[in-house]
A and B are shown apart, each in its own frame.
Chain A
Amino acid sequence: MRPSPSTPSLARLPGLIIGFAMSVSVSFAIAADTLPDIQRLMKQGQMPQALEKVDAYISTKPKDAQGRFLKGLILTEMGRPADAIPVFTRLTEDYPELPEPYNNLAVLYAQQKQYDKARTALEMAIRTHPSYSIAHENLGDVYAKLASQAYDKALQLDSSNSVTQSKLSLIRELISTSAKPGVKPSATSSRPAPEPAKIAVAEPLKPTVTPQPAAVVTPVVPPVSAPVKPIEKAAEQAKAEKPLEKPTEAKATDGDGQAEVSKSLNGWAGAWSRKDVKGYLSYYASDFQTPNGMPRKAWEAERAQRIDKPGKLQVGVEEVRIALAGDKATVKFRQHYNSASLKSTASKTVVFVRSGGKWLIQQERVG
């Protein structure tokens, strides 16, 4: 799933911050202006200015976890890992129960090929939040890198060039604070009612279409205007303790339609993950446009054959945006596909139509 080796992971940052600004704004009285400002600057790629602001912000609130977390992100963005590492390290010391700083620390260590340290940090993140799927996923990558290093030592190889640079996911937001009031940094403690928490948006990977093996078809669609759960990883992880909700700038209209489409999308991804071929196919409308206009029967047979392969399978959807228009919903999202033989992420667009009270897939395409 990870993007091409040539893309430094940070390059993907700009896309990330969607949905970020909203969530924070509510809670801060004085700082309210500042943090979103900083995030805006970050989004615009104006890192030096963002850094200046965040430093000013922190000078008034030296303990503030959100501000320090942002600073760590900014330094990371600026390609200053040596400066970013201490920021995240101190956050882990001051707030050992927050998984995000550990995760990001691990990302930085991994970039420097210090996989043992990355592993330790991720294991800490998981110790505090056992179902933190991003950390799990990152840890899987770190284990693979460690394995590869061990093999290099065992076999006297130098695979450092041949192996893809690892792409761990940086976490862009500090969520866990809101879940644990006791832990909150002072600034956030004044936060009103538990707003739809922010999401630990995993990274919006570049919409590259990674060579996807068998399963190229991917229809999915959740509506995102209402706080939807961007499913992280497939079914298995669906009940992750962090229901990431994404308060996108969605117009909360049509909430019900959105929710239904989203449900359908999740159900579809879930059936796929479970290798429930019948269930999976039931999400396709009778007038579904098969690839290249192939006969429906042949297409179904092909899907069945591809889905029902041995080994684990996980299909997750993320960053779901639903555009609802009457009985039609166009859903764009990122699909994480993770099988024994392939890990990929792709942007997908799926068109759902309402049919007999159900939302079914009429079109499905990559991109």
Chain B
Amino acid sequence: MRRASLAIALLAAFTAGPVAPAAVDRPATFSDSGPEPQLSRIFSEIEKNQLDVALEKTESLLRQYPNFRLGHLIKGDLLLARSQKLSTLGNAANAPQERLADLRDEAIARLNAYRDKPAKTNYVPRYLLQMQPDQKHAIVVDTQKSRLYLYQNDDGRPRFVADYYITHGKLGADKMREGDKKTPVGVYHVTSSLPLNKLGDFYGSGAFPINYPNEWDKRQGRNGHGIWLHGTPSDTFSRPPKASDGCVVLANTDLDALAKNLQVGLTPVIISNSIEWLSFDDWKTERASLNKKIDDWRTDWESKDVNRFLKHYSKKFQTKDQGIDQFAQQKRQVNAGKEWIKVKLSNQSMFRNPGKEEVVVVTFDQDYRSNNLNNQMKKRQYWVREDGTWKIIYEGSV
């Protein structure tokens, strides 16, 4: 009787339409973690007007996740539906609208992400151009979708492992300033694992700082600090999609699962507003052309022809202490004494920086040998697309 209206009301929340039940049937190539599969089934029961079944499933979901607030909200609705008409998801009288809106947003984020799970596609995040061999995993965050994706390094090709619901900054992404309550967008890596005994309950089961602000951020004048991946306080399973001061927050169980795959100092964490996906073929092409460019740079360096070498550098090139002119002058001086140069690169990674500007962060071990100097270093370069070609705009040791 009043059921149809409930289903409509709840589903109306999903701009993208009803949750595809197909998601449930897809052969699982990974173990689904988190409450999304159950949530999705609950909503599909609601859609079928099987409110009793939906309530049973909700109660079973809550047995598994007792502090899952969204689950409690749906339970409240399903109970209330037995005695009155419902108008929306979350019919609590006199409830603070903000909190209701937060839970609705969470429902939408979770259901949409579940429906669009990337495993079924042949697409990869554009940012993961190349992982270095010892990077076992990479993390890509989509702040708009409130989702974190874990990829495995499968012989250079990123292979999807799992995805998790996340919370990011109250005021969104693109952090610029200290205290702006935004999550940075860029290519980072985990820098440490903070010991549990130094964390309050607020950070849940762990915390992994990332290297914001990185070289590129500083160059752009961005500041602030203390951006972490961390867990959730014990009184709730999850937080609303936008609630942190800039950190990326996961459910404790998810953080624990993720932590097993994190390599401190190594695992890339790429945070985007909205992930750009490339088909596997396009991804291969883009990766090859960049590799070619980097190899050109290396061989031009070995050629001792300073002009050929310098044409790989942007006019806006800037290191910590040199602009392009000083850099060029120094290279010319040094090169005068060279009879031969050998440069070997290894352990190379390439990650595209999310955002409008086309920037790729390249990191490698550089083995430089010449008649009068040998040197080994880990170097990081920022390549930027300028006038249709890739140029180096920053480089420095890591």
**Chain A: residues with CB nearer than 8 A to chain B?**
139-141, 143-144, 146-151, 153-157, 159, 162, 311, 340
Contacts and interface: CB of A to CB of B under 8 A. Distances in A.
B95 A155 contact: yes
Given A162-B94, A311-B85, A340-B84, A154 B79 contact: no
Given A144-B80, A146-B76, 20 more contacts: A139-B82, A141-B83, A144-B79, A146-B75, A147-B76, A147-B77, A147-B79, A147-B91, A150-B75, A151-B95, A154-B70, A154-B72, A154-B92, A155-B92, A155-B95, A157-B92, A157-B96, A311-B85, A340-B84, A340-B85
A95 to B, nearest CB: 27
Contacts of A156: 69, 99
Among A149, A155, A311, residue most surrounded by chain B Cβ atoms (within 10 Å): A155
A148 B75 CA distance: 10
Contact of B82 (A140, A148, A157): A140
Contacts of B77: 147
A155 B79 contact: no
A141 B84 CA distance: 11
Given A143-B80, A156-B99, A151 B85 contact: no
Contact of B72 (A141, A151, A159): A151
B247 interface: no
Nearest to A150: B76
Interface of B: 69-73, 75-77, 79-80, 82-85, 90-92, 94-96, 99-100, 103
Contacts of A146: 75-76, 79
Contacts of A140: 82-83
Contacts of A151: 72-73, 76, 90-92, 95
Contacts of A157: 92, 95-96
A143 B91 CA distance: 13
A147 B71 CA distance: 12
Contacts of B85: 311, 340
Contacts of B84: 144, 340
Main secondary structure of the interface of B (DSSP, over half): helix
Contacts of B76: 146-151, 154
Contact of A155 (B75, B80, B82, B99): B99
A147 B84 CA distance: 11
A67 B303 CA distance: 108
A155 B70 contact: no
14 contacts: A143-B80, A144-B80, A147-B77, A147-B80, A148-B76, A148-B92, A151-B72, A151-B91, A151-B95, A154-B70, A155-B92, A157-B95, A157-B96, A340-B84
B72 A150 contact: yes
Contacts of B75: 146-147, 150, 154
Contacts of A153: 69, 72
Nearest to A137: B83
B73 A155 contact: yes
B234 to A, nearest CB: 13
A155 B103 CA distance: 8
A162 B369 CA distance: 78
A141 B79 CA distance: 10
Contacts of B69: 153-156
Among A139, A153, A156, residue most surrounded by chain B Cβ atoms (within 10 Å): A153
Contacts of A148: 76, 92
A76 to B, nearest CB: 25
B153 to A, nearest CB: 40
Contacts of B95: 151, 155, 157
A153 B92 CA distance: 11
Contacts of B80: 143-144, 147
Nearest 9 A/B pairs, CB to CB: A150-B76, A151-B92, A154-B73, A154-B72, A147-B79, A153-B72, A147-B80, A140-B83, A151-B76
A153 B95 CA distance: 12
A143 B72 contact: no
Contacts of A141: 83
